[in-house]
Chains A and B, each alone.
Chain A
Amino acid sequence: SAVISQKPSRDICQRGTSLTIQCQVDSQVTMMFWYRQQPGQSLTLIATANQGSEATYESGFVIDKFPISRPNLTFSTLTVSNMSPEDSSIYLCSADRDTANTEAFFGQGTRLTVV
């Protein structure tokens, strides 16, 4: 199994600012994903972080608002840009192998509050 370290674990930010969340995996993984979990809700996939190419965004999410980096096979960042209170959420990164029959692993999440 993979161990994922995600930081910060929580933050309170002013509206209009940006926050970068980091995710470090203890082994090389092909796929990394970023999710948003709004209070009391399920996980919504924001994007797939591809190593060596631009991230692939899901419907409703755009690169200008959620820029993502994936400089190597063990690290990724998600930036929440120009934040508003509606961005208050838990953000989770996930690492995955390249086979469908394996489980994904998750970081502990970043609880973001925008004031």
Chain B
Amino acid sequence: AQSVAQPEDQVNVAEGNPLTVKCTYSVSGNPYLFWYVQYPNRGLQFLLKYITGDNLVKGSYGFEAEFNKSQTSFHLKKPSALVSDSALYFCAVRDLRNDYKLSFGAGTTVTVRA
């Protein structure tokens, strides 16, 4: 079985401060990990992915994520948050033994205050 966990329902930060959204995973085999963002009344937008290679992955809108195999984590980070980063963030993992289906975390609501 595969799963991802996002331990925080909400993250609140001040604009200009670092932003971290946590994700841990549990998979059989090598993990294929993804981060998506959902703005109000919108679909999901792809931010970044880890497949193999460097543990630090850079993505859209200044976001990056660090893959840590020993801690089975894939935390999303942004050095300096913007008010426009306020949205719902989902971590997801592919199950390579189940037709590559995506399994999503519960989501984390990020609020960046001015």
A: interface residue count bin: 20 to 34
CB contacts under 8 Å to B, within A1-36, are 1, 4, 6, 9, 31, 33
CB contacts under 8 Å to A, within B18-61, are 32, 34, 36, 41-46, 49, 51
Task: Contacts A6-B43, A43-B90 given; indicate if A100 touches B32 (C-beta within 8 A).
Answer: yes
B11 contacts the other chain (CB 8 A): no
Task: Contacts A6-B43, A101-B32, A109-B43 given; indicate if A96 touches B100 (C-beta within 8 A).
Answer: yes
Contact A92 B43 (CB under 8 A): yes
Describe A's contact surface by its main secondary structure. Answer: strand
CB contacts under 8 Å to A, within B92-112, are 94, 96, 99-102, 104-107
CB contact between B107 and one of A1, A31, A42, A101 (< 8 Å): that residue:
A42
Chain B residues within 8 Å of chain A by Cβ, number: 22
Residues on B with beta carbons closer than 8 Å to the beta carbon of A94:
102
Task: Contacts A101-B32, A103-B49, A104-B102 given; indicate if A109 touches B90 (C-beta within 8 A).
Answer: no
CB contact between B51 and one of A42, A101, A105 (< 8 Å): that residue:
A101
Contact B42 A42 (CB under 8 A): no
Taking CB as reference atom, which chain A residue is nearest B102?
A104
B-to-A contact residues, CB < 8 Å = 32, 34, 36, 41-46, 49, 51, 90, 94, 96, 99-102, 104-107
Known: A42-B106, A101-B32. 5 other contacts (CB 8 A): A42-B104, A45-B101, A100-B51, A103-B46, A104-B46
